[in-house]
């Protein structure tokens, strides 16, 4: 595989790529470099990896116009043709997995277990699953009330879809931002994170090399200071018919507001404050390992990460021992300290923990004053004695910190799990399925996982949130239905 750009460079910076390499934009099948660029920096070392072309408002409009021009032909493409193209894309992701995983690790600081072990396999499965579902997009022929009147309900693609995805799981989240829309017959603009633009470029290359026609998938990236102008231009453009966004609740609120101003529908998967509830009959060893992984995988930089561990007091002491052992086993001193994508994340987590400790909370695992090899690394911290007036109680940490809370009853555990503005995911640990289902039904989230960690995403399960974690669903048939609209056609006999 070659991740060539318009300037003809080969390979990755980590394997000899020049820092002067410029990641191009992809508009109407062309790879475009721009006068304005921005630096892409290694989270691990702080050194320059490469540069990225930066999209202007003019570039954004050109991309929208290209997508609009491609829409008529693409929307008429037969489902079998679209299926075959997506299956080819899955094959290319699979054949390029080694290099794509290295690219993700280089730009985001992810461990190989996350990139090669989870992100890429899940992306490949997602594409294949969606490809196999395309033929399920079907209309209906209802019976009309009036004699002599007939009707057909068509399901049609919207047109141009804007997808905005974050850096932390670039292949899963980047691919799905365009995948469901393309599968349903729409054309797309994929707006990349400035923290991992080359991963998004690689997504565009895979789909182009698979045979997706020019203009159907356009990939843009821009400097942070241009975000407002470029994003607003995309959202307000009359050719853009729907927006999907994965990212923070704060930014999601801004995008939803802009889309609402122009009466455009949105699909959003936003932040989370997931609780893992450990009930008295839980397998504590399994629960502890799941909570350790759910809390600290990818340095906690996952929207589904466990932020609160809610443990029944009757097993709290034993659970603590198992949990410390699990954290030490997976994230102990024998392993490098987890990497956050920027030092801002480390500072935020240190501040949240410090403020809690100053107000009476206790660190029961980890060392807040530990010195690491870079200012983007931070080892796991467990905090107890957290109260509702502490920032860490409600704020999404998006980092390697977790609070452990003791409760006296199932009802109290559910109350704490729901005491958040977020509602993306949760977990319950119990040996009794009926108990697990009873608790799961009372938690206000888009998903609850019984006896597994809060981080769970698979192709066949609808994925999305409640409350300020968003609305709408990716994945499965629900994900395809998000990108078609109905049209009634009636006639008189």
Catalytic residues: 269, 303
CA distance 126 to 369: 41
Q: Which of 172, 455, 436, 407 shows the shortest CA–CA distance to 295?
A: 455
Q: How far apart are the first and last CA of the chain?
A: 58
Helix ranges (H only) for 313-389 are: 313-331, 343-358
Q: Which of 409, 401, 451, 404 shows the shortest CA–CA distance to 426?
A: 451
* 345 Cβ contact list (under 8 Å, min separation 6): 299, 301, 376, 378, 398, 399
CA distance 295 to 302: 9
With contact defined as beta carbons under 8 Å apart, do 242 and 188 qualify? no
With contact defined as beta carbons under 8 Å apart, do 451 and 286 qualify? yes
Helix ranges (H only) for 156-196 are: 170-183
Q: What would you report as the CA-atom Rg of the chain, rounded to the nearest whole angstrom?
A: 23
Handedness of CA 253, 257, 260, 264 (dihedral sign): negative
- Extract the tokens encoding 382: 């467990």
Is 451 strand, coil or helix? coil
> CA geometry: angle at 181 spanning 5 and 447, to 5°?
110
């Amino acid at each position: 595989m070659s991740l060539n750009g318009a300037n003809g460079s080969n390979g990755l910076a980590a394997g000899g790529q020049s820092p002067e390499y410029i990641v191009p934009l992809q508009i109407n099948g062309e790879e475009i470099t721009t006068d304005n660029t921005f630096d892409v920096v290694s989270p691990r070392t702080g050194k320059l990896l490469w540069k990225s072309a930066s999209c202007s408002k003019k570039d954004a409009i050109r991309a929208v116009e290209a997508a609009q021009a491609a829409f008529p032909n693409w929307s008429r493409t037969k489902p079998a043709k679209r299926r075959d193209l997506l299956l080819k894309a899955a094959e290319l992701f699979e054949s390029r997995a080694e290099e794509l995983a290295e690219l993700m690790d280089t730009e985001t600081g992810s461990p190989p277990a996350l990139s090669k072990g989870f992100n890429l396999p899940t992306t490949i499965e997602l594409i294949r699953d969606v490809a196999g579902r395309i033929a399920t997009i079907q209309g209906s022929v209802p019976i009309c009330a009036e004699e002599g009147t007939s009707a057909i309900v068509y399901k049609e693609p919207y047109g141009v879809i804007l997808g905005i995805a974050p850096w932390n799981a670039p292949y899963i989240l980047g691919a799905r931002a365009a995948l469901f829309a393309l599968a349903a017959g729409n054309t797309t603009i994929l707006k990349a994170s400035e923290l991992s633009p080359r991963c998004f470029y690689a997504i565009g290359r895979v789909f182009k090399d698979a045979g997706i026609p020019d203009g159907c998938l356009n990939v843009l990236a821009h400097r942070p200071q241009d975000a407002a102008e470029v994003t607003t231009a995309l959202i307000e453009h009359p050719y853009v018919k729907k927006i999907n966004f994965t990212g923070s609740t704060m930014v999601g609120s801004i995008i939803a507001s802009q889309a609402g101003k122009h009466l455009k529908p949105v699909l959003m998967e936003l932040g989370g404050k997931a609780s893992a509830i450990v009930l008295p009959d839980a397998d504590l060893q399994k629960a502890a390992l799941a909570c350790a992984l759910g809390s600290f995988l990818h340095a906690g930089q996952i929207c589904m990460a466990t932020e609160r561990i809610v443990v029944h007091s009757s097993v709290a002491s034993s659970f603590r021992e198992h949990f410390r052992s699990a954290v030490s086993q997976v994230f102990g001193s024998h392993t490098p300290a987890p990497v956050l994508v920027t030092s801002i994340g480390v500072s935020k987590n240190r501040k949240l923990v410090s403020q809690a400790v100053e107000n009476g909370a206790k660190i029961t695992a980890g060392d807040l004053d530990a010195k690491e090899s870079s200012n983007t690394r931070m080892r796991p911290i467990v905090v107890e004695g957290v109260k509702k007036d502490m920032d860490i109680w409600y704020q999404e940490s998006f980092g390697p910190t977790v609070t452990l809370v003791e409760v006296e009853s199932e009802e109290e555990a559910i109350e704490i799990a729901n005491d958040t503005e977020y509602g993306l995911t949760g977990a319950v640990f119990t040996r009794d399925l009926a108990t697990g289902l009873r608790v799961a039904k009372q938690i206000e989230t888009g998903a609850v996982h019984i006896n597994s960690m809060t981080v769970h995403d698979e192709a066949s399960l609808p994925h999305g949130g409640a409350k300020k974690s968003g609305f709408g669903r990716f994945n499965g048939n629900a994900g395809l239905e998000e990108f078609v609209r109905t049209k009634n056609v009636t006639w008189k006999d």
